[in-house]
Structures are given as C-alpha cells and as structure tokens.
C-alpha cells in the first residue's frame, strides 16, 4: 500500500508501461518509505476522446502522454507528498520522457481499518503490518 491507479491515453508499448510503473514505484519507495514489495499498481488505458485533462487555468497544454495518477493511501505528511511529486516528475521525465506538465496526481487518504490485504483480515489492525 499505497494503491496506485493510472489513467492513460492508449497506445503505449509494454516496455513504456513497465518504465512508467517502475519509475513511479521508485518515487513511492523513496518518498513514502514503503518496502520494495509494497507495490500495487493498476493501469487503465482510454481512447483519446475519453480523457479531457486540462490545466485548471494555469496556462499550459497537455500532450497525449498525460499521466493521471490516483493514489489511495494512509496519511502521508505534506513533506512526503511534496517529495513524491518532485521525485515522480523527475523519474518520469528521465526514464520515460514524460513532460512534467503531463503529470496529474490526486492522493486520497484513508485509515488503517480501510485495508485488507487478503484472508478477510485487516492486517494493519491485527498488527501483522
């Protein structure tokens, strides 16, 4: 945990997707201090006409390489979030050629009781995690 969901315009190769997921995981591990095998990533690809991702009036245009990343996680500090955003765009630009303006992130916070990693148990509450 955290659980990451990527919404992308279709057309990336398997290698491009792997690079995107690996770069994002690196940023998660470094910024949030999670274990290496704490990796939960889901990719949804859409036809171009199904994604309208504008700039909230900031004055820039996005390309077809836009990455919309939704993260569900227990609470992270503002410092951790800012470091994650910085590392994420750095890694995506370096490893994938993704322009930082094409990266949109939303983090939704939940609590320890909101997670079950299997077996019908809440591992954060039972003390297993």
Rounded Cα–Cα distance for residues 100 and 25 (Å): 17
Rounded Cα–Cα distance for residues 15 and 96 (Å): 10
Active-site residue, 2 included: yes
| Active-site entry in 2, 35, 47, 100 | 2
Give the DSSP letter string of 82-109. Answer: HHHHHHHHHHHHHHH---GGGEEEEEEE
**Residues designated as active site:** 2
């Amino acid at each position: 945990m955290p659980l990451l969901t990527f919404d992308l315009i279709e057309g990336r190769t398997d290698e491009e997707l792997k690079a995107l997921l690996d770069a994002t995981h690196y940023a998660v591990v470094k910024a949030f201090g999670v274990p290496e095998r704490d990796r939960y990533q889901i990719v949804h690809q859409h036809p171009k006409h199904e994604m309208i991702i504008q700039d909230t009036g900031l004055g820039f245009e996005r390309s077809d390489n836009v990455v919309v990343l939704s993260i569900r996680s227990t609470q992270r500090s503002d410092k951790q979030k800012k470091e994650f955003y910085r590392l994420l765009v750095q890694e995506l630009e370096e490893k994938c050629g993704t322009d930082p303006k094409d990266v949109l992130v939303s983090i939704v916070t939940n609590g320890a009781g909101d997670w079950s990693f299997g077996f019908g148990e809440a591992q954060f509450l039972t003390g297993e995690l």
